[in-house]
Amino acid sequence: MSRRGTLALVVRQEWRMLIADRSLLLVLGLLVALITYGFANGLAEVRTRDAMVESVLQAEAKAGRSQLERFDRIASGQELPSPFNNPANPAIAGNGSGRQAVLPSAALAPIAIGQSDMMPNSYRIGTRSKVEFMYDSEIESPWNLLSGHFDLSFVIVFLLPLLIFALTFNLLSSERESGTERMLLSQPLGLGTLALGKLIPRAAPLLAVAALLPILLLLAFRSEAWGAGWLLFGWAALVLAYGLFWFALAFAINTLRRSSSANALMLIAGWTILVLVMPVMLNLLVERLHPAPSRTELSIQTRAIQADNLRRYDDLFSGDYRYIDEPESLQAKDGKIEIPARTMASFLARRDMDKRVDGLLDGFDQSLAGQQAAADRLSFLSPAVLAYEGLTVLAGTDGQRYLTFRQDVSQFHDGWRARFEPLIMNGVAITRPDLENLPRWQAPPHDRRGAARALGWYVAVMALCALVAGVLGCWRLRRYTVA
């Protein structure tokens, strides 16, 4: 019988044995349950965030209509202007138009919650300082959420290796311990053919379920996934490469000719090091290489600048309140409008705040970018980090996407304030067409080409790790002796 025929015979026999003792069916059933539950959690989180985005966009539309209606009532004399709510005042219009900058969920967002529960996906744009709305949350490194959520990425990164171990810890040792090893190898059957024949019926169904079931769930419950294109194949490639690494590692451990219990202990130890310990160590290394600026320093500087601005614009902040008794003085006349002193002081103080802390704020963003770049460079040290980073890139919940979003929001905010600053400083009144044609945020789409390129790197490195483990196992197999 040819080697191929012998391999097919071993595969069929091993398949029958796995079905008979129900171990494969049990593991597959558990995997299906875990994937379904993880997907449901991720989908619920995405739907919650999508609902939040929809609500803020509705609030923006409502605020815009309300502002136009108030402008019309004031212009027609039906309502007197207020120093704190006058749409013709550019300082009020610039900070109260309700513009929202939002980051929509990507097509494959349910597969990994990633940093989406920590990083804001919407900001209310106005003329206020960036410190007030963009830097009021904690900075986290790209791996701090690696063990925080039960979603598909958690199932794949953490639990899939354990299910693989359940099927492979006694891949070769079971034959030796049952006394059938010498009998099998006395036949025209090589040890490599035996090992491969035992691996195939374990790896094929397990990896098929891990790679294909989430795709089916995405297509069934996430309509956007139908347009994801090659990203769905990227998911399958990454999961297959990650699973093959752990199968290759289990194969290499089995070639050490230890007992089944010793194999299990070594596999669990390897999982602990690569999945739990190594990401923490890499996290500490990344933070040391690119430490984030101190939040305390930012808070101290902000308070000092606020105190300085109170002194600098004390005369404006203590301006009179005659506008309350003389609201008609707030009416626009010949394209001009009087800006209340306190409103002007508030605008100038917030403008000065950004000018004086821009360097520190840039330091935060540069630190995040440096941490992410370092994470990408060092991720090859842990297959778990590779897989997790790749899954968040697919889901559009990776740190780089949120950092880019923050940078885009910062630029939009700068342009927004630059539009209103000369109007405020020169007392130019806002007209109805101005309100109707204010700039609107254009939500950036998920960069699928960039995601595909990044994913190609993760898959290639993961495949290389699997190849190294497989080659090591084959090398050990050549020195495997049958007692």
State residue 139's pLDDT score.
40
Residue 316 falls within a domain, yes or no?
no
State residue 185's pLDDT score.
66
Distances (CA, A) of 476 to 10, 197, 480: 21, 18, 6
Segments forming the whole domain that contains residue 167: 1-66+91-292+376-419+442-483
| Greatest Cα-to-Cα distance within the chain, rounded to the nearest angstrom | 106
Q: Return the residue matching tokens 């219990």.
A: 261
Residue 352 falls within a domain, yes or no?
no
State residue 98's pLDDT score.
66
Share above pLDDT 70 across residues of the chain, in percent, rounded to a whole number: 90
The string of pLDDT tens digits covering residues 299-324 is: 777 778 778 877 777 777 776 666 66
Is residue 470 very low, low, confident or very high in pLDDT (cuts 50, 70, 90)? very high
Residue 387 falls within a domain, yes or no?
yes
Of 96-105, 245-254, 352-361, give the lowest mean pLDDT range. 352-361
State residue 181's pLDDT score.
66
Domain count, the chain: 1
State residue 289's pLDDT score.
78
Residue 336 phi, psi dihedral angles, 5° rounding: -115, 160
Residue 456 falls within a domain, yes or no?
yes
The string of pLDDT tens digits covering residues 151-184 is: 999 999 999 999 999 999 988 888 777 777 666 6
Residue 104 falls within a domain, yes or no?
yes
> Which pair of tokens denotes residue 455?
């994913």
Residue 347 falls within a domain, yes or no?
no
Residue 252 falls within a domain, yes or no?
yes
The string of pLDDT tens digits covering residues 6-19 is: 888 888 888 998 88
Residue 142 falls within a domain, yes or no?
yes
